[in-house]
Amino acid sequence: MLAMASQIEIYEEMSVLSARMAEAARSHEWERLIDLENSVAALRDTLISDTTSSDAMSAADQARKATLIQKILADDAEVRRHTDPWMERVRHFLGRNNQRKKIEHAYGAGLVPDSSRF
């Protein structure tokens, strides 16, 4: 039977994966980014379901954990720096598309000119 990874080992693996996520975002490798995010989420779920308390950690492990969390958060900020502009464009597009559908519903599909031709 395999031993359960310690919290520090899980945070270290999350840190490695978050660095890869930042790299994937910089490279616009969206599928890879999604796969990596799913791996991080699984590790996060492992941490959440872990019943052992982090109170039992040594001071050195607590400091290492804090450093790893700060790095994970910095990597997350880097990922968001690349994904947020794309998400904003998608929200804008979907908002325009939703507005168009409402107008078409109110006035008829053939009466609204296609704005993508302009």
Q: Which residue has 């980014």 as its token pair?
A: 33
Is the pLDDT score of 102 beyond 80? Answer: no
Is the pLDDT score of 17 beyond 50? Answer: yes
- Every domain of the chain and the residues it spans: 9-81
C-alpha closest to that of 23 among 38, 9, 36: 36
Other Cβ atoms less than 10 A from the Cβ of 100: the count is 15
Window from 17-26, 56-65, 87-96, 105-114 with minimum mean pLDDT: 105-114
Q: What values do phi and psi take at 112, rounded to 5?
A: -100, 120
d(CA 36, CA 80): 14
Which pLDDT does position 55 carry in this prediction? 58
Q: 38-69 pLDDT, tens per residue?
A: 999 999 999 988 766 555 788 999 999 999 99
Mean pLDDT (the chain, rounded): 84
- How big is the chain, counted in residues? 118
Instruction: For residue 63, give the amino acid letter.
Output: A
Window from 6-20, 29-43, 63-77, 84-98 with minimum mean pLDDT: 84-98
**Cβ distance 22 to 75 under 8 Å?**
yes
Is the pLDDT score of 96 beyond 80? Answer: no
pLDDT band, residue 1 (cuts 50/70/90):
very low
Architecture of the domain made up of 9-81? Up-down Bundle (1.20)
- Supply angle C-alpha 11, 16, 22, rounded to 5: 120
